[in-house]
Chain A
């Protein structure tokens, strides 16, 4: 019995790789296994090699694995490209149609299954995905009923006949491979899962759901990888709540429309990736200057320019922190798990209204698109805080405007929404006085700059630092952000086996930087390594600038488009040791 296993499916883009993965993993999720997925794809729609990998486990995992147990291949290219990941004695399930061969030097068992032929026999080659996932299921010796139920749900709308056929395809795939192998493979026999119901989703879906829970009722956005799933999710769900998604002509329209809607009182967000974020910069300054709440999600991908649009990177940090001219208050938070994606959206909308500032939620491609198991979300923890929003202002003297930018001790002023009887005031990106009227007075300028820039003094968001710090004097403090946490934890297990003590800090509050909270962790550690998917060590730069400790800090950087593997983190940490 084993506690975890890695499975991968490869083929040409558009030939059912996605759907095979979806149906296979949904069924595994039903059995209560923990799953962590990784999609390798290129920015082509049809054709081009693509593969999806999932790690299946009886305990929580948040990282891809270095190696592979089962490879399902729709073509020889998938074998050639991926077989090297197979651990020795691993299995290849390949379509017999292309006369698959195991590359030289690879120690793997090959099962050539007539995947296409069986699908065609049942009426359409589209059913390849069912035969392939059936074969995988069979090898693992898992109960077919659970699988059939997942199939029923996927195809139920299309009628009983379609469900029947698909179930038959699964069965044939499973039977064929079991006959060849002489029954389920012992070495792939997974321990039973805990059976607890988990959610299985991508980060972008959790973000979308988080928006709905946060009371967001409008989204304006322009499509881009890897952010589009957020708008695609919300356009399906918002109409039932009276809201909508507007696909705008560009990201400048998207962000300014969101500013207009927030100004008028509806929680509105936009989401994009680096190229779109670059276009939004001037408008982010407008939101900062006019103290208008605004929530933006940046799902980072490989930059600069069009860069590697379908690959992992964490290189927009500086753009998020420093982008826009002049000086404004701004919050940047970085979810580090699927659960965070959900709860942080609620937090982001609350912060943006409490402090009347733009809030950027920073994810990365692996977090946004990697499908993973996560704990069910807690309805009772959803709380909405609209800050100093008032229904109306007291009646004003004739010709007096409402003091929308009143100087207050905490710098946050009462806010009324257009439509309120006595709340008329002006809003402008020009420097303005307490009623919003343009003013060039030096004293007013100083007061207003101080008001805005001190609003966030001392801010510390929920889990601004997520720490796992068992040691008081660790050999090594590992710092990361975003999707790298699980990979780091996996490497830490191996390091612990070697006697290296480690602490782990995930920085979730990127800006304003949680200096005070981080310093004690840096002080304790003998050495510090900062791990990030970019070439210029942007996170390490923030740490050095705000907290110091440059002398004992090293960086582990990866910017080839792929997420870190646990072994890479382990090796780099060992070398430091």
Chain B
């Protein structure tokens, strides 16, 4: 069985020292090993941004696509080969601005993939513009007088879109993050894990210290919290202003998309023979006579 070291490659990330993304990379590598995967059984599909580079830093199959489209690409990979473990990953701009449409519909569709958002409340790669996750009043290069748009709550959106697995974590809490990614991989359906991942270069507000002060850890502070209760989950997200971490909601009743497609087998579609028998072909043609 592969250890987490086997999920490392020799590419040096080009992230700034101290960037939260390093720990997310480590957590994915650990979780993959902990659930018993071999590197070739994992595909990491990422978007564009500082965060999007992650697929190149993990020893596994990886595709670094275009801005905002990690999810539809990842869903295509999963449909083609459901035997692979598919992780989609990208920034808050990638998933909640340009790719928001895909995020909501991927949640509704509920394919068995894990989506890890590296949420730094800012656009890192383009050097510090506002993101849908930025706080109101947040001053950035593109909002010199402070953002005047309301802050998006991806957790509430996910809940209302019918998500079957919603979690949030903080890159400094490697233990919790690793456990949540493992749970996400094991969940039979779409899992959303939003991860606070401080951008030390462009976000001077939402810093490591800021998160440490403001985060509510569900497990520690609400030991009786029941993540199968949808209404309670929604309430808790609102009560904590979205700053809670842990497993927020899980629905194990709903089947994954793959399991609901008529005629879809358990074996990877990519393993099937491409040819059509003559008998089948003739039957299809007969409809046009």
Taking beta carbons and an 8 Å cutoff, which residues of A are in contact with B? 29-30, 197-201, 205, 209, 212-215, 217-218, 220, 237-244, 246, 248-250, 252-254, 256-268, 282-283, 285-286, 290, 376-377, 379, 382, 384, 399, 401, 417-430, 437-438
- Tell me the complex Cα distance, A197–B289, Å: 7
A243 touches B269 (CB 8 A): yes
Q: Is B1's beta carbon under 8 Å from chain A?
A: no
Chain B residue nearest to A286 in the complex (CB): B66
A261 touches B62 (CB 8 A): no
Contacts of A30 on B, CB cut-off 8 Å? 289
- Tell me the complex Cα distance, A68–B277, Å: 43
Q: A241-B276, A250-B101, A419-B270 are in contact. List 17 more A-B contacts (CB 8 A).
A: A198-B289, A217-B269, A218-B76, A218-B80, A240-B280, A244-B261, A252-B69, A257-B76, A259-B73, A260-B75, A263-B63, A384-B275, A399-B9, A418-B84, A424-B59, A428-B64, A428-B65
B72 touches A264 (CB 8 A): no
- Tell me the complex Cα distance, A376–B285, Å: 8
B60 interface neighbour in A256, A259, A282, A424, Cβ under 8 Å: A424
B69 touches A283 (CB 8 A): yes
A256 interface neighbour in B65, B275, B284, Cβ under 8 Å: B65
Contacts of A200 on B, CB cut-off 8 Å? 288-289
A428 touches B66 (CB 8 A): no
- Tell me the complex Cα distance, A406–B131, Å: 39
> Hey, what's the 0/1 contact readout for B242-275 against A, CB within 8 Å counting as 1?
0000000000000000000111110011101011
A424 interface neighbour in B61, B101, B102, B265, Cβ under 8 Å: B61
Contacts of A290 on B, CB cut-off 8 Å? 63
A242 touches B265 (CB 8 A): yes
Which 3 interchain pairs have the tightest Cβ spacing?
A: A260-B76, A215-B274, A239-B263
B72 touches A427 (CB 8 A): no
- Tell me the complex Cα distance, A199–B284, Å: 11
Q: Is B222's beta carbon under 8 Å from chain A?
A: no
- Tell me the complex Cα distance, A244–B76, Å: 11
Contacts of B109 on A, CB cut-off 8 Å? 246
- Tell me the complex Cα distance, A243–B80, Å: 9
Chain A residue nearest to B281 in the complex (CB): A379
- Tell me the complex Cα distance, A217–B70, Å: 22
Contacts of A198 on B, CB cut-off 8 Å? 289
Contacts A220-B76, A424-B40, A428-B56 given; does A418 touch B61 at CB 8 Å = yes
Closest approach, in angstroms, between the C-beta of B236 and any C-beta of chain A?
Answer: 29
- Tell me the complex Cα distance, A256–B67, Å: 11
Residue among B45, B270, B280, B281 with most chain A CB within 10 A: B270
B77 touches A426 (CB 8 A): no
Closest approach, in angstroms, between the C-beta of A548 and any C-beta of chain B?
Answer: 38
A426 touches B62 (CB 8 A): yes
Question: Can you spell out 26 A-B residue pairs with CB atoms less than 8 angstroms apart?
Answer: A30-B289, A214-B274, A217-B269, A218-B76, A220-B72, A241-B276, A244-B262, A244-B263, A246-B109, A252-B72, A256-B73, A256-B76, A259-B76, A260-B63, A260-B72, A262-B76, A263-B80, A283-B69, A382-B275, A422-B40, A423-B40, A423-B61, A424-B60, A426-B64, A428-B55, A429-B65
- Tell me the complex Cα distance, A438–B104, Å: 30
Contacts of B64 on A, CB cut-off 8 Å? 426-430
A205 interface neighbour in B59, B102, B288, Cβ under 8 Å: B288
Closest approach, in angstroms, between the C-beta of B97 and any C-beta of chain A?
Answer: 14
Contacts of A214 on B, CB cut-off 8 Å? 274
Q: Is B237's beta carbon under 8 Å from chain A?
A: no
Contacts of B76 on A, CB cut-off 8 Å? 218, 220, 256-264, 268
Closest approach, in angstroms, between the C-beta of A232 and any C-beta of chain B?
Answer: 14
Chain A residue nearest to B269 in the complex (CB): A266
Contacts of A268 on B, CB cut-off 8 Å? 76, 80
- B-side interface residues, number (CB < 8 Å): 57
Contacts of B56 on A, CB cut-off 8 Å? 426, 428, 437-438
Q: Is B34's beta carbon under 8 Å from chain A?
A: no
A199 touches B285 (CB 8 A): yes
Closest approach, in angstroms, between the C-beta of B172 and any C-beta of chain A?
Answer: 28
B72 touches A266 (CB 8 A): no
B80 touches A266 (CB 8 A): yes
B75 touches A257 (CB 8 A): yes
- Tell me the complex Cα distance, A254–B101, Å: 12
A265 interface neighbour in B101, B270, B282, Cβ under 8 Å: B270
Chain A residue nearest to B109 in the complex (CB): A246
Contacts of A263 on B, CB cut-off 8 Å? 63, 73, 76-77, 80
Closest approach, in angstroms, between the C-beta of B168 and any C-beta of chain A?
Answer: 24
B278 touches A379 (CB 8 A): yes
A264 touches B80 (CB 8 A): yes
Closest approach, in angstroms, between the C-beta of A265 and any C-beta of chain B?
Answer: 3
Closest approach, in angstroms, between the C-beta of B151 and any C-beta of chain A?
Answer: 24
- Tell me the complex Cα distance, A246–B110, Å: 13
Chain A residue nearest to B48 in the complex (CB): A429
> Hey, what's the 0/1 contact readout for B24-68 against A, CB within 8 Å counting as 1?
000000000000000111010100000000011001111111100
Contacts A260-B45, A424-B40, A424-B61 given; does A283 touch B66 at CB 8 Å = yes
Contacts of A212 on B, CB cut-off 8 Å? 276, 284
Contacts of A384 on B, CB cut-off 8 Å? 274-275
Contacts A264-B43, A419-B40 given; does A246 touch B63 at CB 8 Å = no
- Tell me the complex Cα distance, A198–B45, Å: 47
- Tell me the complex Cα distance, A239–B265, Å: 10
- Tell me the complex Cα distance, A244–B80, Å: 10
- Tell me the complex Cα distance, A429–B83, Å: 25
Contacts of B66 on A, CB cut-off 8 Å? 256, 282-283, 285-286, 429
- Tell me the complex Cα distance, A509–B41, Å: 40
Q: Is B74's beta carbon under 8 Å from chain A?
A: yes
- Tell me the complex Cα distance, A263–B71, Å: 14
- Tell me the complex Cα distance, A212–B72, Å: 23
Closest approach, in angstroms, between the C-beta of A557 and any C-beta of chain B?
Answer: 34
B61 touches A209 (CB 8 A): no
- Tell me the complex Cα distance, A198–B84, Å: 45
Contacts of A259 on B, CB cut-off 8 Å? 65, 73, 76
Closest approach, in angstroms, between the C-beta of B217 and any C-beta of chain A?
Answer: 34
- Tell me the complex Cα distance, A201–B9, Å: 54
Residue among A248, A266, A283, A418 with most chain B CB within 10 A: A418
- Tell me the complex Cα distance, A430–B269, Å: 29
B79 touches A242 (CB 8 A): no
Contacts of A401 on B, CB cut-off 8 Å? 9
B275 touches A215 (CB 8 A): yes
Contacts of A423 on B, CB cut-off 8 Å? 40, 61
Closest approach, in angstroms, between the C-beta of B66 and any C-beta of chain A?
Answer: 5
- Tell me the complex Cα distance, A430–B49, Å: 12
Q: Is B105's beta carbon under 8 Å from chain A?
A: yes
- Tell me the complex Cα distance, A30–B289, Å: 7
Chain B residue nearest to A26 in the complex (CB): B289
Residue among B59, B61, B284 with most chain A CB within 10 A: B61
- Tell me the complex Cα distance, A341–B64, Å: 34
- Tell me the complex Cα distance, A529–B60, Å: 56
Contacts of A262 on B, CB cut-off 8 Å? 76, 80
Contacts A249-B101, A264-B76 given; does A239 touch B62 at CB 8 Å = no
Q: Is B126's beta carbon under 8 Å from chain A?
A: no
- Tell me the complex Cα distance, A134–B111, Å: 51
Closest approach, in angstroms, between the C-beta of A354 and any C-beta of chain B?
Answer: 14
Closest approach, in angstroms, between the C-beta of B105 and any C-beta of chain A?
Answer: 4
Q: Is B10's beta carbon under 8 Å from chain A?
A: yes
